[in-house]
Amino acid sequence: MNERPDPREYLRDGPDLTGAELDRRLTETWRDAPGFIGWLCSVDHKSIGRRYLVTAIVFLSLGGILAALMRLQLSGPNHHVLSPDRYNQIFTMHGTTMMFLFAVPVMDAMAIYLVPLMIGTRNIGFPRLNAFSYWMYVAGGALLWVAFVVNVGPDAGWFSYVPLSGPQYSPGKRVDVWAQMVTFTEIAALSVAVSMTATILKQRAPGMTLARTPLFVWAMLVVSLMVIFSMPAVALASSMLMSDRLVGTHFFNTYEYGDALLWQHLFWFFGHPEVYIIFLPATGFVSEIVGAFSGRQTFGHTAIVLALSATGLLAFGLWVHHMFATGLPRMGYAFYTSASMAVAVPAGIQIFCWIATIWSGRPRFEVPLLWVVGFIVTFVIGGLTGVMLASVPLDLQVHDTYFVVAHFHYVLIGGAVFPLLGAITYWFPKMTGRMMSESIGRWQFWLSFVSFQVAFFPMHILGIEGMPRRVYTYPASMGWGTLNLLSSLGAVLFAVSVVVFVINMIVSLRSGARAPANPWNAPGLEWATSSPPEPYNFAHIPVVRDSTPLWSPELTFARGLRVEDRELVMTTVLEAKPDLREPSAQPTIWPLVAAAATTVVFIATMFTPWALAIGALPVAVALTAWFWPKDRGPEGEPVID
Amino acid sequence: MATSADPRPSFSTDLEPLPTHAFGHRSLTWWGIIAFFLIEGTAFVLAIAAYFYILDKEQAWPPPPFPPPTMLAGTLFTVLLLLSEIPNTLVKLAAETHDLPRVRRLLVIISLIGAVLMVLRGFELNSLNVLWYQNAYGSAVWMLMVLHTTHIATDWFDTLVLTALMHTDHGGEGRRFVDCSENAIYWRFVWLIWLPIYAMVYWLPRLV
């Protein structure tokens, strides 16, 4: 250590090193290596976030094609476009793809890209873990879809209830593919959650106290904690299911004193929080958009944070409302009904805060705010049917009918996809340096909004008329044909609107108007750097004095981070006082190698449990290489003499 | 509006005097480790809940004709695991005072203890008196044992790698001492989690 230079000799940003010279040096330090290998090795949160986003949109398209096939099949009675077996695979694949491969990952995508920019840091914490999560996600998605293409697509529904999914009623590998895909995506989501939690708690810019932290970042902190507490449930459940199927355990086998309902408890202990894991980031988008387009700080910052936290807590207390039809003690019914209804309170608080923001501000109804309005209308309808379903007598009547299908599409598409489309429109200029077309955006919003209602509102009525979920066809005498046809027409138009959105993205990427650093005059730190941001995000780390830093008269900066090494500032958890300078990991191929080795193990364990023992070795080697320090690192400054 | 690309930014804070590593909650990796505790802890809590759920469905625990697990190997394992906290605490203290020779010696001792624990665990698995496919009781017991074996094997491997690392040139770096301190925290979690599992696998079948 003696040969290291004196700390004072390191190049640091500051008044003496700023502007073009600083840009050149920081770019050299933070950019990915050129070429395909450099691309594979990237640990830049912006690259990983973009990849996540593009991949999630690909899975959205695949899931959407399956939806279109189902609507084609159901558009009239006695259709035989799809066989019953193919239909089972398709509705399972649709739900599984949309929940595990689109909805959760797309929210992660936005957060991975945006959170480090919003809190004013140069990269996400644990960037290699973040890169690893992406490769695991892609591998899980590829496993599911390759299996489907070769007719091994899972067919027991997206929640794979036993005993249907058990060894007796689902021989073959279809359910194993589902269970293992779950393992892949859970590892990916948990990895992101760990990175996100640490980043948000430790890497906020100096002065960004928890009270000044942007609402989207707050939403992601709550969501990350929810992922941490809920996803182990489904990972455990799917491992138990696989071991029942492969090595003859009896967790869910009633004949050997296992229990089928244990599956439902474990699955929904994950599955219900999952809904809020998808919904809360969307409320974060809405809070950001509403503030920026109303020209004022979002009303009720503290109330919204408390509402987010309350939703996160309540989400763990109402999983049994998915199981009302299994029979419960009276007290159980009462408890889970009240918990389910109670969650409407924090949701309502957020909605009133957003309305108050628009009401008391100077709203500009540009495309992102249109999506917010569309969201509020649609989500309130979905929320109200949710309160209806919390009531046991009503739930028992419409359980497993199209009423439930209508409800969750209103809350998931209205509650999460609408804000997502608004958010993509809002942050597209930051990500690409180009504006999306405003005129196409307006047309597309109205097409989406109206066609969505046409597609999904009739399903409420179909459900009340008794049409069950997951039937591949129905006889003409049931009288469901007209509403199903209407629904299918709406679905076609909705699919067209999503295609228009993607075309708008692609066209704008090539020829959209150039975006300045802050095209919407928004207050958040992500707009304090160029569009798109340089590899190092911020030339100097901003110092925050309130929750709308770019609307302050002057933004000041911190100096003193090293320029020739990847260095981050760690701040204290509550007050965000500068505390440490820590290095940030260099790009490396090992997360990809570790993900590849893990993929081989996971796929092989579908065939033999020995793969777990043998395959652990290459995984261990890859992880060791990943963590082993390659050089003295940016730390360099000796602390022991 | 000011951006960081302004030609003349104004500076209000100096980061240069900050240290480059710290122990405990000031370190980023400490938060990562806490997050992994929560993930693994949740998995264990749910596995324990599943065990009780299955217990509730059985007529007797263990269901006849299976005897409860034989105590010897599991109890020896538990005693040694608890004793391992002594060198574990010492290595944590040594790391936090940057005492490299002491860290190196203690890590070797902990690695050896880990090896003995793995052997004892092998004997334990052989003394459960039930196999995972014989009934749901066996499945539940093996679930807990496999989860904890994965846990301890992972941390033992982690300790081996760290021991090797601390014997290289990297050993003198401040952040490597933080790694040692955090590995020690992890080891505590491994034995803490074992205590309820030990009670459930070995004592509960003798009490209910």
For A569, the token pair is 């500032």
Domains and CATH numbers, chain A: 9-627 (1.20.210.10)
Residues of B in contact with A195 (CB under 8 A): 32
Dump pLDDT digits (tens) for A85-118. Answer: 999 999 999 999 999 999 999 999 999 999 999 9
- Mutation for testing the B interface, residue in A3, A13, A190, A202 having most B CBs under 10 Å: A202
* Separation of alpha carbons A178 and A242, rounded Å: 10
The answer to whether A546 contacts chain B (CB < 8 Å) is no
Higher confidence at residue A631 or residue A561?
A561
- Considering only the beta carbons, identify the residue of B18, B39, B136 that sits closest to A580: B18
* Separation of alpha carbons B13 and B15, rounded Å: 7
Place of tokens 């009239």: A76
Answer whether A528 sits within 8 Å of B15, measured CB to CB.
no
A138 and A184 Cβ atoms separated by less than 8 Å:
no
Task: Count CA within 13 A, CB hemisphere, residue B109.
Answer: 17
Residues of A in contact with B25 (CB under 8 A): 573
Of chain A residues 377-406, which have a CB less than 8 A from chain B? none
Residue A458 has pLDDT above 80, yes or no: yes
Instruction: Tell me what pLDDT residue A6 has.
Output: 59
Residue of A nearest to B23 (CA): A580
B80–chain A nearest CA distance, Å: 25
The answer to whether B46 contacts chain A (CB < 8 Å) is yes
Answer whether B21 sits within 8 Å of A253, measured CB to CB.
no
Element holding A362 (H helix, E strand): none
Superfamily name and number for B28-62+70-207: Cytochrome c oxidase, subunit III, four-helix bundle (1.20.120.80)
- Mutation for testing the B interface, residue in A191, A540, A566, A627 having most B CBs under 10 Å: A540
Higher confidence at residue A636 or residue A140?
A140
**Residue B70 DSSP class:** P
Tell me what percent of the residues of chain A surpass a pLDDT of 70. Answer: 97
Strands A541-543 and B11-14: unpaired
B74–chain A nearest CA distance, Å: 22
Element holding B197 (H helix, E strand): helix B174-198
Partners of A562 in the beta sheet? A12
B31–chain A nearest CA distance, Å: 6
**Residue A298 DSSP class:** P
Which candidate, A419, A381, A418, places its Cα nearest to that of A403?
A: A381
Answer whether B28 sits within 8 Å of A570, measured CB to CB.
yes
- Considering only the beta carbons, identify the residue of B2, B38, B59 that sits closest to A228: B38
Of chain B residues 53-82, which have a CB less than 8 A from chain A? 53-54, 57-59, 63
What single letter denotes the amino acid at residue B130?
V
For A384, the token pair is 């109200």
Dump pLDDT digits (tens) for B155-200. Answer: 999 999 999 999 999 998 899 999 999 999 999 999 999 999 999 9
* Separation of alpha carbons A625 and A75, rounded Å: 55
- Mutation for testing the A interface, residue in B15, B56, B148, B152 having most A CBs under 10 Å: B15
**Residue A257 DSSP class:** T
A590 and A571 Cβ atoms separated by less than 8 Å:
no
The answer to whether A545 contacts chain B (CB < 8 Å) is no
Answer whether B165 sits within 8 Å of A632, measured CB to CB.
no
Residue of A nearest to B161 (CA): A624
- Mutation for testing the B interface, residue in A580, A598, A621, A631 having most B CBs under 10 Å: A580
A327–chain B nearest CA distance, Å: 16
Partners of A333 in the beta sheet? none
Of chain A residues 261-300, which have a CB less than 8 A from chain B? 262, 265-266, 269
Classify residue A572 as exposed, middle or buried by CB count within 10 Å of its CB (0-12, 13-18, 19+): middle
Instruction: Tell me what pLDDT residue A163 has.
Output: 96
Residues of A in contact with B145 (CB under 8 A): none
Dump pLDDT digits (tens) for B35-53. Answer: 999 999 999 999 999 999 9
Q: How many Cβ atoms from other residues are within 10 Å of residue A323's Cβ?
A: 17
Residue of B nearest to A627 (CA): B161
Dump pLDDT digits (tens) for A539-570. Answer: 999 999 999 999 998 899 999 999 999 999 99
Classify residue B85 as exposed, middle or buried by CB count within 10 Å of its CB (0-12, 13-18, 19+): middle
Tell me what percent of the residues of chain B surpass a pLDDT of 70. Answer: 97
Answer whether A557 sits within 8 Å of B36, measured CB to CB.
no
B168: which residues sit within 8 A by CB, 6+ positions away? Answer: none
In degrees and rounded to multiples of 5, residue A167 shows phi and psi of -65, -30
Say whether A259 sits in a helix, a strand or coil.
coil
- Considering only the beta carbons, identify the residue of B9, B39, B54 that sits closest to A190: B39
Residues of B in contact with A249 (CB under 8 A): 132-133, 136, 138-139, 142-143
B128 and B139 Cβ atoms separated by less than 8 Å:
no
Residues of A in contact with B17 (CB under 8 A): 560
Residues of B in contact with A582 (CB under 8 A): 20-21, 27-28, 175
Classify residue A396 as exposed, middle or buried by CB count within 10 Å of its CB (0-12, 13-18, 19+): exposed
Place of tokens 């929940």: A99
Instruction: Tell me what pLDDT residue A640 has.
Output: 39
The answer to whether A530 contacts chain B (CB < 8 Å) is yes
The answer to whether A253 contacts chain B (CB < 8 Å) is yes
* Separation of alpha carbons A596 and A132, rounded Å: 10
Dump pLDDT digits (tens) for A302-344. Answer: 999 999 999 999 999 989 999 999 988 899 999 999 999 999 9
The radius of gyration of chain B from alpha carbons, rounded to an integer in Å, stands at: 22
Q: Give, rounded to a whole angstrom, the gap between the first and last alpha carbons of chain A.
A: 8
Dump pLDDT digits (tens) for A36-52. Answer: 999 999 999 999 999 99
The answer to whether A54 contacts chain B (CB < 8 Å) is no
For A597, the token pair is 């080795």
- Considering only the beta carbons, identify the residue of A12, A236, A257 that sits closest to B43: A236
Which candidate, A276, A285, A310, places its Cα nearest to that of A215?
A: A285
- Considering only the beta carbons, identify the residue of A18, A560, A640 that sits closest to B14: A560
Residue A177 has pLDDT above 50, yes or no: yes
Strands B11-14 and A578-583: unpaired
CA separation (Å) from A256 to A249, A463, A602, B67? 9, 37, 28, 17
Residue A634 has pLDDT above 60, yes or no: no
B195–chain A nearest CA distance, Å: 20
How high is the mean pLDDT of chain A? Answer: 95
The answer to whether A635 contacts chain B (CB < 8 Å) is yes
The radius of gyration of chain A from alpha carbons, rounded to an integer in Å, stands at: 25
**Dihedral Cα B115, B116, B120, B122, nearest 10 deg:** 30
Instruction: Tell me what pLDDT residue B5 has.
Output: 53
Which candidate, A259, A287, A275, A355, places its Cα nearest to that of A322?
A: A275
Residue of B nearest to A551 (CA): B1
Place of tokens 């809590």: B45
The arithmetic mean of pLDDT across residues A58-87, rounded, is 97
A327: which residues sit within 8 A by CB, 6+ positions away? Answer: none
Place of tokens 């693994």: B40
Residue A633 has pLDDT above 60, yes or no: no
* Separation of alpha carbons A396 and A578, rounded Å: 55
B73–chain A nearest CA distance, Å: 23
A10 and A2 Cβ atoms separated by less than 8 Å:
no
The answer to whether B52 contacts chain A (CB < 8 Å) is no
Classify residue A242 as exposed, middle or buried by CB count within 10 Å of its CB (0-12, 13-18, 19+): buried
Dump pLDDT digits (tens) for A196-213. Answer: 999 999 999 999 999 999
Residue of A nearest to B48 (CA): A236
Answer whether A240 sits within 8 Å of B142, measured CB to CB.
no
Instruction: Tell me what pLDDT residue B59 has.
Output: 85
Residues of B in contact with A624 (CB under 8 A): 161
What's the complex ipTM? 0.95
Of chain B residues 101-130, which have a CB less than 8 A from chain A? none
B85–chain A nearest CA distance, Å: 25
Residues of A in contact with B132 (CB under 8 A): 243, 247-249
- Mutation for testing the A interface, residue in B3, B54, B59 having most A CBs under 10 Å: B3
Complete DSSP assignment for A21-65: HHHHHHHHHHSPPSHHHHHHH---HHHHHHHHHHHHHHHHHHHHH
Dump pLDDT digits (tens) for A261-280. Answer: 999 999 999 999 999 999 99
* Separation of alpha carbons B114 and A290, rounded Å: 55
Residues of B in contact with A540 (CB under 8 A): 4, 9, 11
Task: Count CA within 13 A, CB hemisphere, residue A479.
Answer: 5
* Separation of alpha carbons A219 and A286, rounded Å: 11
Residue A638 has pLDDT above 70, yes or no: no
Residue A7 has pLDDT above 70, yes or no: no
